A and B are shown apart, each in its own frame.
Chain A
């Protein structure tokens, strides 16, 4: 495989993961696919915001 091919396949994995996914039965097996993606995306920043807030509070108070 040339370097270009390697690069293109990596791009494809990132951009269209469903197309290269090896488990044809799993994809779209749930009607809540998009909901899970968004819910996960919204949950990820919460602990960071909280940790930053606590760090700031302790810094300010001491």
Chain B
């Protein structure tokens, strides 16, 4: 019965105009954007109020290192864009090295963020003493968590690419991962501008 159904459906099937997985991931990003809109809006309640910000006695945030780190993340987004471009021209070798570079830059970003966190904790930026520290860890941590998820997806796509799963005709997995990665990359400059300045 199941095989009969499948054969019949194949005959009837028109090429679907909208890729369901792509629509799904876009809607998922909509939920994510609303989530971060809620967090940012909560942050702005304090940032836009006439109070001293940052409060007295807080360690200075490492703006320079984070600015370089921002460039690293933006670069990874650009490299991913290039990678999917060369995939559509079936340059498999170049595609693989560009995709690996994307994953490497993503991991580098995460490592630098983690390194900064350790230092800030040492210098006494605590989450529990006031809202300033709490928001720093909440926003940066939540973004880091999403980058982590994006890196996992990237590594999964990389493994599948090494197995030769993608080509110029079949690249849905790469597209989905790229869409999500662009969201993660595009979000960071906004958070960077809000938190560090």
Is A in direct contact with B (CB under 8 Å) within the complex? Answer: yes
Please state if B48 and A34 are interface contacts (CB–CB under 8 Å): yes
Please state if B38 and A32 are interface contacts (CB–CB under 8 Å): no
Main secondary structure of the interface of A (DSSP, over half): helix
Instruction: Identify the closest chain B residue to A38 (Cβ).
Output: B48
B49 CB contacts on chain A under 8 angstroms: 31-35
Q: Does B51 contact A (CB under 8 A)?
A: yes
- Complex-state Cα separation, A50 to B38, whole angstroms: 14
Identify which of residues 44-96 in chain B touch chain A, using a CB-to-CB cut-off of 8 Å: 44-51
Q: Does B2 contact A (CB under 8 A)?
A: no
B53 to chain A, nearest CB (A): 10
Instruction: Identify the closest chain B residue to A53 (Cβ).
Output: B30
Number of interface residues of A (CB under 8 A): 19
A54 CB contacts on chain B under 8 angstroms: 26-27, 30
Instruction: Identify the closest chain B residue to A54 (Cβ).
Output: B30
Out of B23, B34, B44, B50, name the residue touching A46 (CB < 8 Å). B34
Q: Does A61 contact B (CB under 8 A)?
A: yes
B30 CB contacts on chain A under 8 angstroms: 50, 54
Instruction: Identify the closest chain A residue to B30 (Cβ).
Output: A50
Out of A31, A40, A62, name the residue touching B41 (CB < 8 Å). A40
Please state if B26 and A57 are interface contacts (CB–CB under 8 Å): yes
Out of B33, B34, B45, name the residue touching A39 (CB < 8 Å). B45
Q: A40-B41, A61-B17, A61-B18 are in contact. Are A50 and B48 (CB under 8 A)?
A: no
B23 CB contacts on chain A under 8 angstroms: 57-58, 61
Return 9 A-B CB contacts under 8 Å, by A number.
Answer: A32-B51, A34-B48, A35-B47, A35-B49, A42-B40, A46-B33, A50-B34, A57-B23, A61-B23
| 10 further A-B pairs in the complex, CB-CB below 8 A; given A40-B41, A50-B33, A50-B34 | A31-B50, A33-B49, A35-B44, A38-B44, A38-B45, A39-B42, A39-B44, A39-B45, A39-B48, A61-B17
Interface residues of A (CB under 8 A from B): 31-36, 38-40, 42-43, 46-47, 50, 54, 57-58, 61-62
